[in-house]
Amino acid sequence: MSTLLTAPLYCYACHCMDCQKQTGSAFYLSLNIELYNIQILSPTKPSFLSREVKPGLVDRYAECPQCHVQLWASNHLGDAVVELRVGTLDFPSLMEPDIHIHVESKLDWVTLPEGAKTAQRGHDYKKSWPKSSLKRLDMCWKRAEEVKRRRAAAMKESEIEGTAVGDETADGVVAVEGSGEGDKTPTAGDIGGGEDDEAEEQRFRETEKALLERLERLSLKLQNEEGTKKVVETCLEDSKKSP
């Protein structure tokens, strides 16, 4: 089990034929988030694997070692930013897509919400992502480069001193596991620690409020479904008692 330490950078649904085939479903729903903003909670750690998707294109991904469900994978944004499968979250309904892409191959019976942002084919993250997410992305890249630089320096020092240095993760950066040991990338609490951008803080407050509202609607929906189920069960029980 894992948890997201902050709101995703971006969430999208892809309706291309490749995603339909790979997922065996109508579309692929994922979100982009910094790897260090995923915290592992369960004692069972994910397995980090690599596979060649296309000639010269290597996909690095994490999966559950028990059920082998893919949790997240690296993409064109680099190893420090991953695509996490929304369906693996406890409350996937909270992650409504910011955009639906490749709608030109969308299944005919799939109806998108009114006013949903769409793209006939792919989308350029530089144009579609909000400025706050682009700012976080740039910060993530810089921190990933700093981690690699420090690791390279440590490796060089270890070669001189003849000591060993711990292995990095399969993604080339250190994921947050809450152990507090060794060299790890910053947690969400460290992000923006030196910022005093009021607009940035306001956006995060609004995002948090929106997520809480979605969670409340989901809870009410579950309660209503449970209430309906009880009414049906009561009616069935009464019908059995009737002569």
Kindly state whether residues 151 and 124 are assigned to the same domain.
yes
Specify whether the CB–CB gap between 170 and 48 falls below 8 A. Answer: yes
pTM of the model: 0.62
Kindly state whether residues 96 and 204 are assigned to the same domain.
no
Task: Please give the residue range of the domain that contains residue 224.
Answer: 197-243
Whole-number pLDDT of residue 152: 84
Whole-number pLDDT of residue 235: 60
Low pLDDT (below 50) residues in the chain? 165-196
Whole-number pLDDT of residue 134: 93
CA angle 118, 120, 125 (to 5 degrees): 65
Kindly state whether residues 238 and 160 are assigned to the same domain.
no
Kindly state whether residues 185 and 203 are assigned to the same domain.
no
Kindly state whether residues 140 and 209 are assigned to the same domain.
no
CA angle 93, 189, 59 (to 5 degrees): 60
Kindly state whether residues 82 and 126 are assigned to the same domain.
yes
Kindly state whether residues 128 and 209 are assigned to the same domain.
no
Whole-number pLDDT of residue 176: 35
Whole-number pLDDT of residue 181: 31
How many domains does one find in the chain? 2
Whole-number pLDDT of residue 78: 81
Kindly state whether residues 46 and 123 are assigned to the same domain.
yes
